[in-house]
Structure 1
Amino acid sequence: MTQHLKLLLDCPVVIAAVLVCGIGGTFQYGYSMSVMTSPSDFIKELVNKTCEHRYGLSLEPWQLSLIWSFTVSIFCIGGLLGSLAAGPLASKFGRKRCLLLNNFVAMFGAVLMLLSKTAMSFEMIMAGRFLYGINSGFSLLLHVMYLIECTPRKLKSMVGVTVGSFMSLGKFTGQLLGISELLGTETLWPWLLGFSGFIALFQLLTLFFLPESPSFLLLDRGDHQACEQALKQLWGNKDYSREVEEMLEEKAALQNVRNYSVLELIQNKTVRWQLMTVCVMFTTIQLCGVNAVYFYSFDVFRAAGIPEDKLRYAALGTGLCEVSTTVACFTIIERTGKKALLFRGYTGMSLVLILLTITVYLQTQVSWMPYCSMVLIFLFIFFFASGPVGVTPPLPGDVFAQAFRSAAYTIAWTINWGGLFLLGMVFPIIVEKLDYFCFLIFLFFCLGCAIYVKFNVPETKNKTPLEIAAEFEKMHCKPKLKDFTEKKVSGIISYETKL
């Protein structure tokens, strides 16, 4: 780990890219996910006042609940649209340019949020949430893609974990700024919702000084000189000839092969295991039960004797646990490996979900059982943050070559947004019908993913997409096909020119 950390410190521009992309990337997603909890009562009050002022109408509770649910869920619709558009635009115009322009979407959304209370318009909050969703859909995909392509191969695993770290940091910041001592007040809540605009402005002003992705410049634009200039700016005077050689090998394998669409990627049988792995990972990250655990944390903390007015501060502890664990994951991933972190994470989460179901069931019968549930909640967040949340986001860039990468990211984040929207609509019904036994549903996904990782996913640390493709082939083809597999490594996609 010390060797990799020293190598990272020798690349200050890469560190700057990590910070700039993280703050304007997955941080925005995490912040938007958590920020609506604190001002919910104030926003609902604004909805009521708006309807009374315009129409002289006092809303029924179910009508208010419906408007509130739509206001929260429209973020996912915007995110889905952003993810679908981000891949093709990134391949055509470049990662950096799309990231720069994407910040204007967030800033416009922030203006709507800031003016919503003054204009007495809850529709402006809906529109702002929709724009925030588009911004997050773009930034989730482009942040990961740009950062991985700007990083030396030896540091890709370590830097990739920062994607999840900034996501967790965004969630925690939304929780922190939402407390009543900061921006979670009746007068300041529009500034809480508009905070994302200032983050977007920061990225807009700083990202301008960073280079375009070297991989995009060489493989998509065919500009060898610009690629070397970008690598020199990012990595300094280090010897990056090996990385350039690997990109040229990939370019040779992709000669006469254009970037593939989502449909073409789905139809391509040669990368079916990579695609299946991405689909399994991104489905499970949404259906692993972390939202259910966060949801029940308030009941558990309340049962443990924490006063009602202190519950929000206890919830800050869960966010802080997630942030600190993802940072710790950053320090161990190079030694442990991605496959091991995923397997241990989902296995640990499965065990915790079983125990949590038992302890929540018994918490009204045994006086000390809520304390066990509280420990298990933090333990679940620890396992979640120590593997899945850090390893999953950069996975499409790890296992797919350049021609498939944009389409792979589009599919991955579409699954993410679709799962998030579905969970938001169905989860309240699941909780109402099953109560704490809903943990058993999420147990199925966690345990199934752990088994899939154990037997179907190779280690991807410090390997090129071509080497990873060979590992997938070795795991899933018969021994007699070994010669064919070895031959396929040198030109894993060359046969695509026939299509």
Structure 2
Amino acid sequence: MSKRVLDEYEPLLVEEVKARARTKVSNTNLLIATFAVCIGGTFQYGFNISVVNGATMHVQSFINQTFVDRYQTDISEFLLTLLWSIIVTSLTIGGFIGSMISGTLAMKLGRKGALLVNNIFALMAALMMGLSSPSGLYELLIFGRLLSGINAGIGLCVQTLYLSEIPPTPLRGALGIGTSVSITFGILIGQLAGLKELLGREELWPVLLSTTCIPAFLQLLILPFSPESPRYLLIDKGNLEGCKKALKQLHGANYKKELDDIELERKSLGSVKTRTTWDVIRDGSIRWQLITIMLLHAAQQLNGINAIYFYANYLFKQAGIPVDKIPYVTLGCGACECITALTCGFLIDNVGRKVLILGGYGLMSICCVLFTIMLSFQTASPVMPYLSVVCVFIFILSFGLGPGGVTNILSIELFTQTTRPAAYVIAGSVNWFSFFFIGLVFPFIVIGLQQYCFLVFLAICFFMALYIFLFIPETKNKTFTEIQNKLNSSNNEIHTDRAGSISFSTYF
């Protein structure tokens, strides 16, 4: 190639190299922001759910010894069980409280600001739980778990909002799946930390429970260097320059298309201000969206995944796995769920939200039938226990690929910027209440129905699969404005005939 041609193309080549460099930097910034919000957000949710299992026997022993030191008598089995139940379930009560205040924090402090302030609860929780043993106060465990729950409740709601608002439209599903990935990764790390080879020993259980401070410190170190949500800056605060700066940092030179989309959404909302929770509940125009996310979040806790983990130990014993090896197999279940959540992240923007969540609930329904049969004939054949173990992993795979990964993304995409925080307060509250409810009544369901308890979960999974098929739209690769136009069009198809009966024909 001649020197003249090279001189002519050299500026273009230099500009292309610079553009690629800017894109690489922006992609890195996007990944750093995602990691920062996840490690101090829903990672805490998953970690605090599982980490307590590794400390169960040691904490109960500590409570008994503390009771003896105080009252010179052993604690009754009933009171010990009650105190342990309070310690465990205080996480869900805190989560409910955190969900209720998350919308206000997200609007007053911004998404980034709310997440940073939220770490105060995690640090206070770690301090209380770490000092419980040296001080001889098991009450600190209750308050510590309550604060961990508040931290997890705020993190679940605000992180999901942030991750839905920072990526370009084609990557919204992939980054949004970070919520479920960080939950499952938190569960896995909590299980791993609780092994007796690590922090699961009797003398180390206070350290085990107080490690919740580590993700909080990591977020405080990394998140300040990431920008605030561009949508929050422009739509809620009217800060155009701040929005542009945030988009440049997150998207690089190709930020204008996303800026146009945000501007279009802002114009479509007009002078409508951010809605309160009560406003959203009373608004008939979004009633079906609200019912949908409430059902999705209730089903996420009530679909049988907790039953699977409950029966896992029994099934592993029946399959001949030594008792001391079962924690490692359970760790494999956690790793399986984490891998499927990651897989969902790769598939969701290609396959679509509706296909994944519908397929997930469909497979879970089939597994519920198989579990009922296998548990009923567990001793009929030596092969049955092994088939049951295979079914455990299929059920977990189905949950991770479907409901576990897609629910939070759909909950965000069905609402506009002004209704999204309040809608997610409602969804998060339903999620935590369902979590508390299943923890409270599940033992009685098992005692009353035994292996037939899976028929209850079959009904829930089948109903959700049917509801999703009939009523939930596909939101893949659609902007928030396009989704709302689709929802408005579909809502108009719900009409009342002359006799006053409601027809749902062609809805979604």
Q: Give your verdict on TM over 0.5.
A: yes
> Is the Cα–Cα contact under 8 Å of residues 9 and 15 in structure 1 kept in the other structure?
no
What residue is the counterpart of 2:409 in the other structure? 394
Of the three residues 414, 419, 430, the one matched with 1:415 is 430
Report deviation, 1:88. Answer: 1.3
Aligned residue identity for 1:15: L
Aligned residue identity for 2:434: G
Distance 1:422 1:395 in 2: 23
What residue is the counterpart of 1:56 in the other structure? 72
Report deviation, 1:9. Answer: 8.5
Of the three residues 147, 155, 161, the one matched with 1:145 is 161
What SS does structure 2 have at the residue aligned with 1:393? helix
Of the three residues 349, 369, 372, the one matched with 1:357 is 372
What residue is the counterpart of 1:125 in the other structure? 141
What SS does structure 2 have at the residue aligned with 1:151? coil
Q: Aligned pair count?
A: 475
Of the three residues 41, 53, 56, the one matched with 1:25 is 41
What SS does structure 2 have at the residue aligned with 1:295? helix
- Deviation per CA, 1:132-173, whole angstroms, max 9, x where unpaired? 001001111111111211111110011111211111011111
Q: How does 1:87-486 map to 2 (within 5 A)?
A: 87-238=103-254, 240-478=255-493
> Is the Cα–Cα contact under 8 Å of residues 47 and 122 in structure 1 kept in the other structure?
yes
> Is the Cα–Cα contact under 8 Å of residues 84 and 410 in structure 1 kept in the other structure?
yes
> Is the Cα–Cα contact under 8 Å of residues 371 and 388 in structure 2 kept in the other structure?
yes
- Deviation per CA, 1:246-294, whole angstroms, max 9, x where unpaired? 2112212222211111111111111122112111111110111000001
> Is the Cα–Cα contact under 8 Å of residues 297 and 407 in structure 2 kept in the other structure?
yes
> Is the Cα–Cα contact under 8 Å of residues 288 and 445 in structure 1 kept in the other structure?
yes
Distance 2:490 2:234 in 1: 31
Distance 2:426 2:170 in 1: 26
Report deviation, 1:187. Answer: 1.1
Report deviation, 1:49. Answer: 1.1
> Is the Cα–Cα contact under 8 Å of residues 86 and 138 in structure 1 kept in the other structure?
yes
> Is the Cα–Cα contact under 8 Å of residues 247 and 259 in structure 2 kept in the other structure?
no
Distance 1:20 1:152 in 2: 18
Long gaps (5+) in structure 1 = 1-6, 482-499
Distance 1:427 1:470 in 2: 41
Distance 1:15 1:132 in 2: 26
Aligned residue identity for 1:141: C
Distance 2:168 2:269 in 1: 21
1:39 has 2:70 as partner: no
- Deviation per CA, 1:429-467, whole angstroms, max 9, x where unpaired? 111111121111111111111111111011011212332
Report deviation, 1:8. Answer: 8.6
Distance 2:325 2:176 in 1: 35
1:14 has 2:30 as partner: yes
What residue is the counterpart of 1:484 in the other structure? none
Aligned residue identity for 1:203: Q
Long gaps (5+) in structure 2 = 1-22, 497-508
TM-score in terms of structure 2 length: 0.91
Report deviation, 1:229. Answer: 0.5
TM-score in terms of structure 1 length: 0.93
What SS does structure 1 have at the residue aligned with 2:253? coil
> Is the Cα–Cα contact under 8 Å of residues 457 and 472 in structure 1 kept in the other structure?
no
Identity of aligned residues (%): 40
> Which is worse superposed, 245-254 or 337-346?
245-254
Aligned residue identity for 1:50: T
